[in-house]
Structure 1
Amino acid sequence: MHDLTPVTALGFAEPRVDRFDRLTITENDGLALASVAARMGRETECHAVLKNLLGAVPQVGKAVLHDPEAGFWMGPEQWMLGAPRTTHELLAEQLGALFGDAASVTEQSGAWVCFDVTGPAMPDLSERVCAVPIRRMIAGDAQRTVIHHLGCYVLRRQAQDHIRILGPRASAASLHHALLEAAEAIS
């Protein structure tokens, strides 16, 4: 039997935290993620489950920042749902049971890296790395964008100085490098 040790997307035993004068970049390894796609003709049922779970169906360009589950719109009749991994390690399986035949649910936890960017310089960093209108975004706004040639999602969180960036896990080091370079440039 192999003695395997889990590592974060950046390859460490613990999530990495990088602190700058007015900014902190934290690798958030504590999310369970699953995508949900409504099946044709079952959209109403899918929406009912989403509303029951999150309190609302995430609309275009929006996230529902519900606790413990949250979700954001990814495309027509498609959403990404997330929750703390400590309590929802089997999120996709749990969602599959809730949605039944109304939606296709796919495990996404291992496909994405998540970085939480916080601090008063967060808008400055965001403007350097991507084209989202960060100064006009409010809590619950979600945008797909490109950061360092990578398709990413930027979610404006409740705190005024907090964004969450989801990017492809296979390119975690490249995305992290781009965030660090931008942070160093504004420090």
Structure 2
Amino acid sequence: MTTTKKQLTREKILKAAWHLFRQQGYPETSTRQIAREAGVADGTVFSHFPTKLDMLKAGMLTQVELVLTKARQEKQGGSPAQKLLHHAGFLYGFYADNREFSRELFKEAIWQYDYFRPQVDDFKRLLFADRADQDENNELDAEIMMDCYFMTLLHGLNRPETNAEQMLTELGKKLARLFRTTGN
């Protein structure tokens, strides 16, 4: 598949935006700075991303997909809970290593659930992909598991002393209790 000039320009803008967001913070970064960093005209930025928030959302999708791709390259557990813990280890590591930036990301992105829903739904399907008993309980279990994942993440990011391993342990305890209670 050939990458077009337009795609290359979009990627360049997104890379510049992500770099500046991490370096100086999302609120402090202007679209003009992003254009300069990317080496494009100001208007070019807006032809690819209508708003700065659109750049943040696209950057998050890209970064999370990179982390998940890395996680998929390693052996995963068999149960849905084991799969979630496997992937959460990688994701929590990414967010904890970039704690302040991650807090900024979530402050903006938490209200953008519809935008991120396809990625979350794909992830929920991954958790239950090997289950023969495909039913509506799996959907409910997946939804509860994702709630546990996100609440553990947000709680951990708000405690500076908490690292990725501690978040993963906390998530593991929640999932163990959940599945002990439900019998799944």
TM-based fold match above 0.5: no
Larger strand percent:
1
Query: Which structure carries more relative contact order (alpha carbon 8 Å, separation 6+)?
Result: 1
TM-score normalised by L of structure 1: 0.28
Larger helix percent:
2
